[in-house]
Structure 1
Amino acid sequence: MTETTSTHERNHVRDAWELIEVMERIGASKSAELFAPRWEASRVKGEEFYAPVASGEWFSTENRDMYESPTNRTRFARTVDFLRPGERIMEIGIGKGFLALMALKAGEIGAYRGIELVPSNVTATNKTLAANGYAERATAEVGNLYDLTREMVAEHKTDLLICCEVLEHVPDPEAALKVLADALPEGTDLLVSVPLRGRLEGIWGHVAQFGVARVREMARSAGLTVHHVEPLANTWVFMLASRSATSERAELVAAATPDVTADLVTPPDWSLSVDNVEPEAMESKWRKNLSSHSVTQAERGVRLSATASAKSDGSHYAGIAFACKDVRGIRLEIDPVDIEQVEAFYADFYAGAERVGRWKWIPSEKRPKQKKPTFMLQPHNVGTYFKRQKVKDLSTADRFELFAQLPHGGKVTIEVPRIGWFR
């Protein structure tokens, strides 16, 4: 595989492979959550795109339910984005011919030829093509992917060769992709799709699994140049490739890609600025079962020193507080002068007597490497050290409390050189 000579294509392809690799590592559920706007935009496009097709007794209810599922509607709609009106298309592995109908109807292609291993699928496809009025410029025939030749593709004057949702069904997808690549005449593009890693692996007909590393190596070994690649519907990887250095079709696809962030609105609990202030401590409510407790001015900021009682029962807490108003969180610098005996730190926001936010840090479990680490406590951040516990509306808070939980006789000394209020 050689890289495209187009800088735009090259950068897009590299970024897309990286995105897909991330999606593989985090899995289907997390990908669904993190990339929800992307999947929703594609789903809506698929729903708006799809129109029912005419069929007969050869097309079962089960078949129709599968092909008309939201994910398949999304796949059909996106595939049509790769087509240009009047083009001649050849498809390998046609199923029941639904994609053929979408290409003819919505893609307005000029001619279609489908090759399928299963005779009953070929019969159903030809009947469906005829029922929808496309028999004169579309046909399907029985054939084997591994028998495909460049002469066959050239004979049809093929502009785009499609092989979607096929390679996972064959025992040697590397060999299959090499056959497809070798069959490409100059100027003919290839569109391939396979399931994302961790998706559709429970389907018994699927005998091959894929990941970024394998698909990239398959394309490289087949001598293909990848012009466009993308994840679709949190289910598939679409790859546009050819034996040429560039492809005009990649620009066509890019132009039809939804802008999923165009209408996003900043969440109300996200801050837009940080107001850095000199720490001015106020009386803390967290002074319990202590033999000593002091809050003093440090060289910079304020200093908390406390010792827990060695005799009293119950928990021991030593804290420091700061007044706040109309905030969305805090940026907090801490100098941990002596925290070896601290069982836990708590960072609380209060609106009057009600706690509206809490983060918790257990120093014995994990500590920053910095001498004076800075912590960012905001509702949308789970936190690395201070872990978010429960957060409501911080904008109602009038006080921030930072306090330590100590064992009997335990000591703590910290300084807070700087604070910044997220607003």
Structure 2
Amino acid sequence: MNADADVPSQPSSPVERALVARGWADIDLVERLGPGPSRRAREAVMVADRDRARAWYRPPQREHSAEGEVPPASESNVVRFRRVVGFISPGERIFEVGVGQGVLATLMLRDGEAASYRGIELEQRWVDATRAMLATNGLADRSSVDLGNLYDLTRADVEASGASLVVCCEVVEHVPDPDEAVRTLARALPEGTDLLFSVPLVGRLEGVWGHTQAFGAARLHRLLGQAGLVAHHVEVLHDTWAFVLASTSTDPSPRAARILEAESGPDPQRFLEPSFTAMDNVPVTELERREPHWVKRVEDLAVEPCLREAHRPEGPVDGLRVTGRSGYVFKGPGRGWSSYAGLAFAVPSGVQGARLQLDVPDLDAADEVRVEWRRDGERCGLWVWKPREDRPATRYPTFLIAPDRQGAILRRTPGSRVVGADEVEVVVRAHEDAPIDFAVRRWAWVS
């Protein structure tokens, strides 16, 4: 065991070590993201795994099923079954802790072509169900299933079976002392025997009442260290489980190498296709100006090129600054109405959005910044930023208006569209009697 009991020993192979480290980081990432964002981010991988599993899966027969066949397994379980079987080489001997209904046992023998199978299970009903399923599928002569407690498992038990792989999937989250459970599994491994086990990811299966433990990446990593196990392969499976292949040896794992060689990535046709492909920079002073719609209660309005900044080594910013004195209404029917000023441009055909860099020197002086898109004089899209509430991290914030982007500070309003717009206007509404002062420093058309 490693001197630091909380840190597992590392594989001796630098490549295997790097892949395992990446696997831990992947588990941590998807757990932090949560199931919704994680599934969207991993869609291509999940669809590829699902399609391969569906094509591979052939349900085993079950004696007491009315149709003689196991009811359809869930998408995630079919992916899990295929993945476990993928770790098996033909002719291997398998020892499983926690047999469930016997579906996985049947698949490991039938499709994994294991030479023999030994399983233990805490409840007699599952022992009986697994024995019946193995017999129905003609596999009784290569298998044995008995009552047994994980905590009583010994090295002699595994050695007697001749197993080269111990499988313990979807068990550790059910037991009262997972630390001792994993230590027991580690002590029971004969030299040269691997352990394959899985637990649910954080945020995935906590609603299952049989689960009494939750495992984040940190806890799972610590369990291996305390048990003296070396992780040779670590992965997120179908955004539901953390899968770990481990042993007591730091030598490179042929099994881990085989599983990596056997797996192909997702079909490139499923890779993300961007909704826009180009952001064409245009000097603001070269944009075709249009008469602004939003110029109200402003005196001495001026639109001038931005001043050059000597401290910027890449050269001057070719932008436009809008200034004006407030015509704020202090009394009468329009009391409380503040000033508006806008800078409008023609929109070329085929544009899907814009990238713009703004300068609002005094954020407290502006109640609202709007980017309004119009078609034939009618508004078709509106993005809004409230500078007094949302403070950007930089002096000159850059905003992207593009398909599928909602915006974090400059936010898209519901129903807004850009495609088909023929003009766009950047508008600032002053706070009370504050003056108008803003600049459009940089611009690019998104297409």
- TM over 0.5, shorter chain: yes
TM-aligned CA deviation for residue 321 of structure 1: 1.7
| Matched AA of 1:288 | K
Displacement of 1:303 in angstroms is: 0.8
Describe the shift of the 1:13–1:412 C-alpha distance in structure 2 as closer, same or farther (beyond 3 A): farther
Query: Alpha-carbon deviations, 1:198-237, whole Å to 9, x = none?
Result: 1221222111111111100001111111111112222211
Give yes or no for the alignment of 1:321 onto 2:344. Answer: yes
1:341 equivalenced with 2:341 (yes/no): no
Inter-partner Cα distance in structure 2 for 1:392 and 1:365: 22
Q: Show the counterpart of 1:36.
A: 43
Displacement after TM superposition at 1:193 (Å) = 0.5
What's the C-alpha RMSD, in Å, of the aligned pairs?
2.3
Which of these residues, 9, 22, 27, is aligned with residue 2 of structure 1? 9
CA contact (8 A) 1:339 1:411 kept: no
Aligned length: 419
The answer to whether the 8 Å contact 2:48/2:267 transfers is no
Map Cα deviations across residues 1-51 of structure 1 (whole Å, 9 max, x no partner): 111122332222222222222222232233233322222222222222221
Task: Give the whole-Å Cα distance in 2 for the aligned partners of 1:335 and 1:255.
Answer: 53
User: Aligned residue for 2:131?
Assistant: 126
Alpha-carbon distance change, 359 to 258 in structure 1, aligned in 2, over 3 angstroms: farther
Counterparts of 1:11 and 1:395, CA distance in 2: 46
Contact 1:361/1:385 (<8 A) preserved: yes
2:294 alignment partner in structure 1: 286
Report the CA distance shift for 1:103/1:88 in structure 2 as closer, same or farther (over 3 A).
same
Q: What is the rounded CA distance, in whole Å, between the counterparts of 2:14 and 2:422 in structure 1?
A: 53
Moved more, 102-111 or 159-168: 102-111
**Does structure 2 conserve the Cα–Cα contact (< 8 Å) formed by 1:42 and 1:258?**
no
C-alpha contact (below 8 Å) 1:309/1:408 kept by paired residues: no
Q: Give the equivalent residue in structure 2 for 1:394.
A: 418
Letter in 1 for 2:18: N
Which residue in the other structure is 1:382 paired with? Answer: 406
Deviation track 1:63-99 (CA, whole Å, cap 9, x = no partner) reads 954x722221121111111111111111000011110
The residue aligned with 1:304 is: 322
**C-alpha separation in 2, matches of 1:391 and 1:259:** 37
Unaligned runs of 5+ in 2: 1-7, 308-317
Bigger drift between 348-357 and 358-367 goes to 348-357
2:390 is the counterpart of 1:366 = yes
Tell whether the 8 Å contact from 2:59 to 2:70 is kept in structure 1 after alignment. Answer: no
Are the equivalent residues in 1 in contact too, given 2:328–2:339 (CA < 8 A)?
Answer: no
Task: Read off the aligned partner of 1:319 and give its amino acid letter.
Answer: G
Deviation at residue 324 of structure 1 after TM alignment = 2.9
- What secondary structure does 1:293 align onto? strand
Q: Is contact 1:159-1:187 (8 Å) kept?
A: yes
User: In 2 relative to 1, CA 14–382 (structure 1 residues): closer, same or farther, beyond 3 Å?
Assistant: farther
Match of 1:15 among 6, 19, 22: 22
Aligned residue type for 1:290: V
Query: Which residue of 1 is the match for residue 265 of structure 2?
Result: 259
Give the match's secondary structure for 1:287: coil
What is the percentage of aligned positions where both structures have the same residue? 38
Task: Quickly say closer, same or farther: Cα 1:134–1:26, change in 2 above 3 A.
Answer: same
Contact 1:338 1:412 in 2 (8 A): no
Q: Which moved more, 1:198-207 or 1:257-266?
A: 257-266
Task: Kindly provide the amino acid, as one letter, of the partner of residue 227 in structure 2.
Answer: A
Which residue does the alignment assign to 1:416?
440
When normalised by structure 2's length, the TM-score is: 0.87
**Partner amino acid, structure 2, of 1:21:** D
